[in-house]
Amino acid sequence: MRDNSARRIRLFPVVVIAVLLAFLAAGTAANLERNPQPGLVSEGIPGQKVPTATTARLPTQYGGMVRQALADLDALTMPNGGTLAGWDGPWRFVWPRDASFVAAARCSVGQYAEAASVLSFLNRVRPTSGRWAARYAAADGSVPQDGREPQLDGSGWVLWASWFCSSGLDLSTYWPMLRESGDQIVAELGADGLPAVSPDYWERPESSVTLGTVAPLQAGLRAGLAIASLLGHEVPSWQSALDRLSTATDRAFGPSYPRTPDGGADAIVTVLGPPFAPPRADVADAIDHAHDVLTQPNGGVTPGESWRADGVAWTPQTALFALSAAARGDRQTALSILDWLNTHRTRTGAIPEKLNRDLQPAGEAPLGWTSALVVLTAAALDKPLPVPAA
């Protein structure tokens, strides 16, 4: 009888590889079934026309995309300054996070009156104590009773955006809002120097503190100290809180700065560097690593490693990496990402919330946060953006 043992040994790796490939194919098929391709809610704001003139200082590059983005922000901003995250359904609310970026974007191109309108709305709806609500109704500033918890990161974003606009606005008008936001950050820090658990831009309940809360709070305290100095106020508790928070963040999240101390990469790591904070080599390495890890086959990025694995790219997080690159002097990366965003606008020119696996626009269009980030990035390529001091 012929001995086939050698042949069986040679075939064994082939069989194992075939079985593994079959499992992978089945897993991929199951994942795609669980996460179908998202579609486009709207191609843009109905009936909107991009004006031929604008009060903005248009950047030298991507003028068409920036003009469209500013026009979309005009349309999303109500007469009372409430800036909608998007035009349709669940997006028709004012998120302090998104509105803060809109105010900063306006100031980056010299639209200070428009920025003041946005900040004035936030000033009217500000919490006199406690955290900012996740979102507000634009009409009357009421808080929707939809089960979303208040979000601490709003205190950081509002402080940063207000400081960003300090060269063109009188911030004394907003000092009560800014003081309350800074004091809330201080009140939230525990004995370990980190804030209490809070939802962040992922818009979901969290079981541990996230970088999505920590990074904006650091930026906010830095900016808040600069505002206080500008206005002649002394807030020593803010400096102490910033020192404690910075030390605790490095200890708990460094050197890779993931979403949670034991988690994976998150796009919000960009907020630990310029234009939100002074440059640091370890943070720059973490940002570049996160960009590599989170980039999807379609060219954009997913919010984080623990986000659903559906191959969909989200434009706000993609644009955050563009802004980070521009602010850190990496023009090649910034231009490459802006090219990608510019190429994949909707037929009306709006920047969509997402790009699906087939590179088709998906979700809401336009999305105010992405529009603001594109304006900021284009402005940063023309002239360095201000960065709060350490």
Q: Using 50, 70 and 90 to split pLDDT, how confident is the model at 50?
A: confident
Q: What percentage of residues in the chain have a pLDDT greater than 90?
A: 87
Q: How far is CA 228 from CA 5, 157, 184, 354, in A?
A: 80, 16, 15, 38
Amino acid at 232: G
> Minimal CA–CA distance to 372: which of 84, 45, 8, 81?
84
- Would the pTM count as exceeding 0.85? yes
Q: What is the mean pLDDT of the chain?
A: 92
- Residues contacting residue 266 through CB under 8 Å, at least 6 positions apart: 210, 211, 212, 258, 259, 290, 303, 304, 305
Cβ contacts of 238-244, under 8 Å, gap ≥ 24? 238/182, 238/185, 238/186, 241/185, 241/186, 241/189, 242/218, 244/189, 244/193
351 backbone dihedrals φ, ψ, rounded to 5°: -90, 120
How many CA atoms, within 13 angstroms, populate the side-chain half-sphere of residue 108? 31
Alpha-carbon gap, residue 361 to 177, rounded angstroms: 37
Q: Which of 40-49, 63-72, 282-291 has the lowest mean pLDDT?
A: 40-49
Alpha-carbon gap, residue 108 to 92, rounded angstroms: 25
Q: Is the dihedral of CA 60, 64, 67, 72 positive or negative?
A: negative
- Residues contacting residue 202 through CB under 8 Å, at least 6 positions apart: 210, 212, 303, 304, 307
Does residue 8 register a pLDDT over 60? no
User: Residue 272: in which H helix or E strand, if any?
Assistant: none
Kindly state the greatest CA–CA separation across the chain: 97
Cβ contacts of 282-288, under 8 Å, gap ≥ 24? 282/254, 282/255, 283/257, 284/328, 285/255, 286/255, 286/256, 286/257, 287/321, 287/324, 287/328
Q: Using 50, 70 and 90 to split pLDDT, how confident is the model at 47?
A: confident
Cβ atoms of 260 and 205 closer than 8 Å? no
Average of pLDDT values for 29-56?
Answer: 77
* pLDDT tens digits, one per residue of 99-149: 999 999 999 999 999 999 999 999 999 999 999 999 999 999 999 999 999
Average of pLDDT values for 44-53?
Answer: 81
Taking the CB of residue 204, how many other CB atoms lie within 10 A of it? 9
Taking the CB of residue 343, how many other CB atoms lie within 10 A of it? 11
Region class of 55: left (phi > 0), else alpha (psi between -120 and 50), else beta: alpha
Cβ atoms of 300 and 355 closer than 8 Å? yes
Q: What pLDDT score does 55 carry?
A: 83
SS3 195: strand
E strand map for the chain? 313-314, 354-355, 361-362
Does residue 31 register a pLDDT over 70? no
User: Structurally, what CATH architecture does the domain formed by 46-382 represent?
Assistant: Alpha/alpha barrel (1.50)
Q: Using 50, 70 and 90 to split pLDDT, how confident is the model at 237?
A: very high
Alpha-carbon gap, residue 178 to 243, rounded angstroms: 19
Q: What pLDDT score does 36 carry?
A: 77
- Residues contacting residue 291 through CB under 8 Å, at least 6 positions apart: 301, 321, 333
The larger pLDDT score, comparing residue 12 to residue 340, is at: 340
The larger pLDDT score, comparing residue 49 to residue 384, is at: 384
Q: What pLDDT score does 48 carry?
A: 83
Amino acid at 256: S
Cβ atoms of 322 and 287 closer than 8 Å? no
* pLDDT tens digits, one per residue of 157-174: 999 999 999 999 999 999
- Residues contacting residue 234 through CB under 8 Å, at least 6 positions apart: 228
Q: How far is CA 102 from CA 114, 257, 272, 307, in A?
A: 9, 26, 20, 25
Amino acid at 222: R
* pLDDT tens digits, one per residue of 252-298: 999 999 999 999 999 999 999 999 999 999 999 999 999 999 999 99
Alpha-carbon gap, residue 248 to 59, rounded angstroms: 38
Cβ atoms of 362 and 79 closer than 8 Å? no
40 backbone dihedrals φ, ψ, rounded to 5°: -95, 130
Amino acid at 229: S
User: Residue 373: in which H helix or E strand, if any?
Assistant: helix 368-382
